[in-house]
Structure 1
Amino acid sequence: MSNKKNIVCVSNTTWEGFYTKSTVQLVSLLAKSNNLLFVEYPFTIKDLIFTLMGKGRAPVARMLGLKSRLVKKNSTFNTEVNHLVLPPLLPFAFFKNEKLYQFFLNLNSFFYARSIKRALRKLNMTKPVSVNAYNAIYGNALLNKIGEKLNIYYCYDGPDVRRYGDRAIVSDHSFAENVDGVITTSDFLAESMNHLNPQTKVVKNGVDFQVFNKSAKSSLRGAVKKKVGYIGSLDHRFDLETVEYTIQQLADYEFEFVGDLMNKKIHEVLAHYPNVTFLPPVKPHEVPDLLKDCDVGLIPYLCTEYTKNIYPLKINEYLSVGVPVVLTSFAHLPEFDGVANFTTTKEAFCEAIKSEIELDTEAKIKERIEYAKGTSWESRAVDFEKIIDGFLIESNKNN
């Protein structure tokens, strides 16, 4: 790692939660040799009300200033990160009228920037590198508003059209054009953004290898009933048709789905099958022990414009424990050819599960683990910081 830098991460995710988040992992590791400020997901008044009603998880006391909005968080990598919660912002995505939409976006951005600048002053962090993590909606409005010397767009997904419609595409493209550099998590995403910003680099998702490898398989499961597992958010990406077909065909297999049930239809359709179990989401450190009891891990995403940008975090997590992986071919991920099983039909998906289990060996388990070892978050963070340093050098040349 290089000389210490001041880095502020304007995030579109929360620090805590049920699943591993690439932004949090990278920020935690960058904090080993840099001053880090992580700005929490921008919660709105609606989030605050829902939490008070018991339907949300917003940090209400800190949002309202009843507790300090700026605190220090200890990461799983034994580093310390400054963590900022914003005051509640106004919901505005629903406005159809463009003038109203822009008015409330700019109003929110004023309070957003003011909160960040106050935190930076308190921490004595000047001229920071600003890493905007998939928060392009606010990106342009915050650009050059916090005294930053460099702006980077960390883009780990396609535009969020489900929430913001075409405005998400406009914001995403405009922000990518205006920043000093873009870092994506997949080659496909990088290729789609190269024309917007020639300074586009790739740092793929990783895995907390040491944590997952502690629960790694060393031999095949001896259980008579085979277990097929899925751990992650059960949302709009889930290929329900393919999974239901597979459950019907493999009635002697046990299917276990662990995660936040965002799409209620998944439970409605699958829960009545006797070989299906749904479990609530678990903390990231609890995932490895669940995985080691599986004979195969699934990533059954729909093939859409949205999912083709994804480099799934869970693929390296499955492999770190030695579990074979069966996926739908939702994205172009050639680096996993030979180590994971990609399928294009529901029939092939079903057959792949059977063959991966029936043909699994201890040698294959070791191969998967060895592959995953090379995708650790530590190595990804080193790559990420090298790219930041390269952007800084390029920026200094142009100024």
Structure 2
Amino acid sequence: MKGKNIICISQTTWEGEFTKSTVQLLSILAENNNVFFVEYPFTLKDVVMSVLGKQRAQVSRMLGFKSRIKKIETPNGATVNHVVMPPVLPVDFLKNETLFKSFFSVNSFIYKNQLRKIIKKFNLENPIVITAYNPMYGLPMIGQLKELLNVYYCYDGMDTQRHRSRIFNIEKQFCEKVDGIITTSDYLNSEKKKLNKQTYVVKNGVDFNLFVPHAKKTITSGSSQKKVGYIGTLDFRFDIDIMEYAVKELPHIIFEFTGYLLNQNIKERLSKYENVSFFGSVKPNEVPELLSNYDLGIIPYKMDEVNKNIYPLKINEYLAVGVPVVMTAFADLTDFKAMAKSAHTKTLFKEFIESELKNDTDSLIQERIAFAKQNSWEGRAKEFESILENFVSKKQKL
């Protein structure tokens, strides 16, 4: 796919403290296409909090004192147009639906008006609009941007933390109206296909070229103390009970947790153990070297309805540096059946950690690295492009 105008209505920022599938895919699509990445709009409250130093938002760009659009060079040498929207009204707290819809219509107008200005200024004819996990703003934009195609990129299940329970109905409407949906897991695909037959899967990948220079060559000496690590957001998805059991039962093993701490209970319950350490977030390009210091990587997520949707980015990242992976059975990740251990109980989780550390070999390290290479973002981007081309072809035949 070449020469297309792509506008991404995102739920996140471009930069941040963790790897984002949207950023990885768009960086590659930008090699041959004109990509505009639109950050999730901050509110007037965020502006005030940033001025007071309690948040970090690009206030000068949001208010128009500096250009709302700037070019960002990606690691692969492509260029993405990075867009910051004007601040909108804080409305998510409103319980009354009539009031919410009234005030949110103002936000939609601000958002639509800004996008139309960009489309006009840069002559973005027939844009392909990709809404990345943001049906709240994606829904009111359908048919408003003279788009060639409107695609929903869904990489997680909806929750009520930000938009309350109203988000479920909004996402349902959005799924039914878009030209197609691309999900990141088989479970998400099966759910969205009930709402839109044009639903396909492109699973998460790994920046293999970034990770492989730090890949292990051999297992750590058996006499040294083993180190188990987790890198990622520490939030409500994290299963504290299972993790605490393993930490308590394996006092001879070091456990390190690195990432943005959103659930303070995790640190409060685990930091009392001498074999546990917590570290703040690191930049995505710092992750490979950190992972290479581990003897095993863990993904201790709760086994609940929300986590069923997940295809975790970190699983391929762990494998890319050659470390074994032990996770809870939070999702149906059959692709990794031969590469990672999946535990349904706290006892199994603990036992898998022990056995994987004890039985690791140099040949298994190489098998993991080879497996991760097959899941590179370059390969995923080709799959993504192919599906977009298929959507375009079907749309043009109508």
TM-score with structure 1 setting the length: 0.98
The unaligned stretches of length 5 or more in structure 1 are none
CA distance in 2, matches of 1:303, 1:55: 34
Q: Give the conservation status (yes or no) of the 8 Å contact 2:92–2:164.
A: no
CA distance in 1, matches of 2:14, 2:2: 25
2:361: which partner in 1?
Answer: 361
CA distance in 1, matches of 2:227, 2:48: 40
CA distance in 1, matches of 2:37, 2:369: 32
Q: How does 1:153-302 map to 2 (within 5 A)?
A: 153-222=152-221, 224-302=224-302
Q: Does 1:23 align with 2:22?
A: yes
Q: How does 1:125-140 map to 2 (within 5 A)?
A: 125-140=124-139
SS at match of 1:220: coil
Deviant stretches of 4+, over 6 Å: none
The unaligned stretches of length 5 or more in structure 2 are none
Aligned residue identity for 1:4 = G
2:316: which partner in 1?
Answer: 316
Task: Give the superposition deviation at 1:121.
Answer: 2.0
2:389: which partner in 1?
Answer: 389
Cα deviations by residue, 1:46-97 (Å, 9 ceiling, x for unpaired) = 2222222333221111111121101101112211000100011111111111
Task: Give the superposition deviation at 1:260.
Answer: 0.3
Question: Which shows bigger deviation, 41-50 or 126-135?
Answer: 41-50
Q: Give the conservation status (yes or no) of the 8 Å contact 1:303–1:329.
A: yes
Q: Give the conservation status (yes or no) of the 8 Å contact 2:323–2:368.
A: yes
CA distance in 2, matches of 1:241, 1:272: 14
Task: Give the superposition deviation at 1:137.
Answer: 1.2
Cα deviations by residue, 1:175-194 (Å, 9 ceiling, x for unpaired) = 00000000000011000111
SS at match of 1:153: strand
Q: Give the conservation status (yes or no) of the 8 Å contact 1:259–1:280.
A: yes
Aligned residue identity for 2:211 = F
Task: Give the superposition deviation at 1:161.
Answer: 2.1
Task: Give the superposition deviation at 1:270.
Answer: 1.1
Aligned residue identity for 1:91 = P
CA distance in 1, matches of 2:299, 2:167: 26
SS at match of 1:157: coil
SS at match of 2:360: coil
SS at match of 1:365: helix
1:306: which partner in 2?
Answer: 306
2:101: which partner in 1?
Answer: 102
CA distance in 2, matches of 1:318, 1:140: 36
Q: How does 1:29-178 map to 2 (within 5 A)?
A: 29-178=28-177
Taking only aligned residues, the RMSD between alpha carbons, in angstroms, comes to: 1.0
Question: Which shows bigger deviation, 120-129 or 256-265?
Answer: 120-129
SS at match of 1:214: helix
Q: Give the conservation status (yes or no) of the 8 Å contact 1:6–1:34.
A: yes
CA distance in 1, matches of 2:350, 2:54: 37
Task: Give the superposition deviation at 1:44.
Answer: 1.1
CA distance in 1, matches of 2:51, 2:256: 32
Task: Give the superposition deviation at 1:173.
Answer: 1.0
Q: Does 1:3 align with 2:2?
A: yes
Q: Give the conservation status (yes or no) of the 8 Å contact 2:9–2:137.
A: no
CA distance in 1, matches of 2:138, 2:84: 17
Question: Which shows bigger deviation, 105-114 or 218-227?
Answer: 218-227
Identity %: 50
Cα deviations by residue, 1:160-206 (Å, 9 ceiling, x for unpaired) = 22322321110111100000000000011000111100000100000
Cα deviations by residue, 1:1-34 (Å, 9 ceiling, x for unpaired) = x331111000001100011000011011000111
Question: Which shows bigger deviation, 159-168 or 323-332?
Answer: 159-168
CA distance in 1, matches of 2:151, 2:262: 30
Q: Give the conservation status (yes or no) of the 8 Å contact 1:72–1:80.
A: yes
1:375: which partner in 2?
Answer: 375
Aligned residue identity for 1:299 = I
Task: Give the superposition deviation at 1:375.
Answer: 0.5
1:334: which partner in 2?
Answer: 334
CA distance in 2, matches of 1:251, 1:142: 54
Task: Give the superposition deviation at 1:144.
Answer: 1.3
CA distance in 2, matches of 1:76, 1:51: 29
Task: Give the superposition deviation at 1:107.
Answer: 0.8
CA distance in 2, matches of 1:5, 1:341: 42
Task: Give the superposition deviation at 1:382.
Answer: 0.7
Q: Give the conservation status (yes or no) of the 8 Å contact 1:84–1:119.
A: no
Q: Give the conservation status (yes or no) of the 8 Å contact 2:316–2:375.
A: yes
Aligned residue identity for 2:291 = L
Aligned residue identity for 2:314 = K
Q: Give the conservation status (yes or no) of the 8 Å contact 2:73–2:79.
A: yes
CA distance in 2, matches of 1:320, 1:100: 49
SS at match of 1:163: coil
Aligned residue identity for 2:186 = D
